[in-house]
Amino acid sequence: MRIAFDLDGVLADLHTPFVRAAIRLFPDLEASVVESGDPAGETPGDEADDDDVPPVLPGVNLTSRQSAAVWRHLAGTEDFWEGLDEIEPGAIARLAALADERRWEILFITSRPTSVGRTVQRQTQRWLQDRGFPLPSVYVVHGSRGRIADALAIDVVIDDRADNCLDVVLESRAGALLVWRGALTSVPASTKRLGIAVVPTVARVLEALVEAERAADGGDLLDRLRRLFGLKPRASSPLVRS
């Protein structure tokens, strides 16, 4: 099984240093206000001038201009991506152990912007290795996650953004698991309709993947995975060519 994991918001805690930098740059903002954004990343605000600056971070209540200033600040930190904390301590080492035990092929996919120091790929590889995943395959990519999943022949994608999961199920044959740590009432309605499972933690993701592999109730792996979460088997996407 080929499994792709997104990094920030799934495995790595970008939220904490992002909010900390925002409060440092904009001292008039209160921490509770900064952290009151929509988990889906649909915070309103004026547009940033730089098209190369990443969008507003999900779950952070900043205007686009404020967000762009924070991204520029973080990009000026040498080897910034190596300093992030793991959201669920031990999850990466557990993933590495399961990958060896069950012969999974694991890919890590990220759209991280560059920072001063090593390349994003190298920083990310070092970060994963330091947390127990040796020789990680890291892809720094931009564009549709669905097309990327299709090109890399991925079976399952784990991401914390609903729009990325929608891309995956609409533009590839892969399944998608949405890691959602916010209120379930704010999960987009289209996720269940399109067969996207919503999971609260990476620990539960790993449990579900193992359960689906061990299940003997027929159907392919993705159908078994969907049934674990009470979802119907998904019909083929009209956007994916046979």
Can you give 128-180 as a three-state secondary structure string? HHHCCCCCCEEEECCCCHHHHHHHCCCCEEEECCHHHHHHHHHHCCCEEEEEC
Dist. CA 34–CA 60, nearest whole Å? 6
Q: What residue spans define the domains of the chain?
A: 2-11+82-228, 14-78
Residue 64's φ and ψ, nearest 5 degrees, are -60, -40
pLDDT of residue 219: 62
Dist. CA 50–CA 90, nearest whole Å? 37
Q: What is the pTM of this model?
A: 0.86
Instruction: Please name the residues in contact with 241: beta carbons below 8 A apart, sequence gap of 6 or more.
Output: none
Q: In the numeric block, which tokens belong to residue 102?
A: 């069950």
Dist. CA 2–CA 46, nearest whole Å? 40
Q: Checking phi first, is residue 218 left (phi over 0); if not, alpha (psi -120 to 50) or beta? A: left
pLDDT of residue 191: 87
Vertex 95: Cα angle to 90 and 97 (nearest 5):
95
**Chain centroid to CA 138: how far?**
13
Residue pair 109/145 in contact (Cβ under 8 Å)? The answer is: yes
pLDDT of residue 61: 80
pLDDT of residue 151: 95
pLDDT of residue 4: 98
Per-residue pLDDT of the chain in tens (242 residues, 90 and over written 9): 999 999 999 999 999 999 999 999 998 877 666 665 544 443 334 444 445 567 667 777 888 899 999 999 999 999 999 999 999 999 999 999 999 999 999 999 999 999 999 999 999 999 999 999 999 999 999 989 999 999 999 999 999 999 999 999 999 999 999 999 888 888 888 888 888 989 999 999 999 999 888 875 556 777 777 777 766 665 554 444 44
pLDDT of residue 204: 94
Class of domain 2-11+82-228: alpha beta
